[in-house]
Structure formats: structure tokens, C-alpha cells
Amino acid sequence: MQKALEAFFTDPTCDLYLEARDAVVDDSSFRVAYADMLRLTTLMRAGRMSEAQVELDWLLPSWALSPRIHGFGARLAQYFHDGEDVELFRFMRNACLEGLCASGCGTEETPYVILYPTDALDLIQSIGEVTLKQSHCCSDPSLDEFECQSGLKVVFSRAIERAPSATVGV
């Protein structure tokens, strides 16, 4: 998994994103539950930054391709005055967004290929759009369609959610 992630972060192309995504999913330690991200968000909003840092460190291996997790990492690094990590996390966040954008066109024929429940909203926000509603595509139940305020419709593959994890740091 590490080699695939390093290759992707060195050159965030579609092919390397998909290879890294497969490597993360195939790793025996891969555990993703939306509750994990909610827990981290709750800790950060409550100002419990030391606990949030522990939670982030625990989540990073499984959430390595999540733009949101790297955005949180940048905020935590900024809070702890670690300028080098701020830049690293921002770089990784942008690379993840590049990989997501390169993975498709956002249509039913070529949907964006996401991994995490937060990816769709992160990508939509990164292109300056606001989501109005989410629905399943009638033609393919494995796809979700997001309608944006501008009228743009963006289609994504479904996120993978596997094995709820134990609570850490809360």
C-alpha cells in the first residue's frame, strides 16, 4: 500500500489514484466508517485538539486518500504551529482532489470514482459548487447523483464503507 500511495502523491494521475485506491481497500487494516470522520469533526469543533490529533493519527492509514482528512491534518498542524506539516497536509489534500477529478467526468457514463463518504462533497466544494440534493441514479443503483445550486448534476460511484471501528481518543 505504501508504494502505491507514494507513487500517487508523487504524480496524482487517474491511473495512480485508482491503483492507490485499490491498494488502500485491499489492505487488511482498511476500516472506514463515516462515524470515524464525525468523531474527528466533533473533537475539532469542541477544541479538543490533542485528542483530535490522536484520532487523526489513528484514522490516516485507512483514510489516506481523503481530501477531508488531510484538510483536518493541516488545521491541526496549524494549531500546533507545525508549518512544515501544514504544507504537507495541504499538498496531500490537493493531490487527493486532483486524483478524484482525474478519475472521471462526473457523468453517468464516466462517474467520479470515490472511496470515502466525504469525497463527493469535497470535490463539489473544490469546484465552487453548493450541493442541493443527493439521489441514486435510476439507471445504475451503484451511482449517486448530486444536484448543485447552479443546476450542475455530478455523478459519483458509491463510497466504500467497511467495518465500523472502535472508538479511539473519545
Yes or no: say if 101 and 123 are a contact pair by the CB < 8 Å rule: yes
Span 50-86, pLDDT tens digits: 999 999 999 999 999 999 999 999 999 999 999 999 9
Query: How many domains is the chain built from?
Result: 1
CA dihedral 44, 144, 23, 92 (to 10 degrees): -40
**Structural domain includes residue 118:** yes
In DSSP terms, which residues pair with 135 in a beta bridge?
Answer: 145
**Structural domain includes residue 168:** no
Instruction: Give the pLDDT mean for 80-102.
Output: 97
Instruction: Give the pLDDT mean for 89-105.
Output: 97
**Structural domain includes residue 124:** yes
Per-residue confidence at 170, pLDDT binned at 50, 70, 90?
A: very low
**Structural domain includes residue 167:** no
Provide the whole-model pTM.
0.88
Biggest CA pair distance of the chain: 49
Counts of helices then strands in the chain (DSSP H, E): 7, 3
Yes or no: say if 36 and 60 are a contact pair by the CB < 8 Å rule: no
Query: Does the pLDDT value for residue 160 go beyond 60?
Result: yes
Query: Does the pLDDT value for residue 167 go beyond 60?
Result: no
- Tell me, what amino acid is at 72? F
Instruction: Identify the pLDDT of residue 138.
Output: 72
